[in-house]
Copies of this chain bind each other. A is one copy, B any other.
Amino acid sequence: MGKPTRVTNEIRALRFAAGEMTQAELADRVGLTRQTIIAIEQGRYSPSLEVAFRIARVFGVPLERVFGYPEEES
Closest 4 CB pairs between A and B? A53-B69, A46-B49, A46-B50, A49-B52
Number of copies: 2
Closest to A6 in B: B50
A10 CB to nearest chain B CB (Å): 14
Closest to A67 in B: B49
A57 CB to nearest chain B CB (Å): 7
A32-74 interface (Cβ within 8 A of B): 46-54, 57, 62-64, 67, 69, 72
Please indicate the chain B residues that have their CB under 8 angstroms from the CB of A6 in the complex. Answer: 50
Judged by a CB distance under 8 angstroms, whether A18 is at the interface is: no
Residue of A6, A49, A54 with most chain B CB atoms under a 10 A cut-off: A49
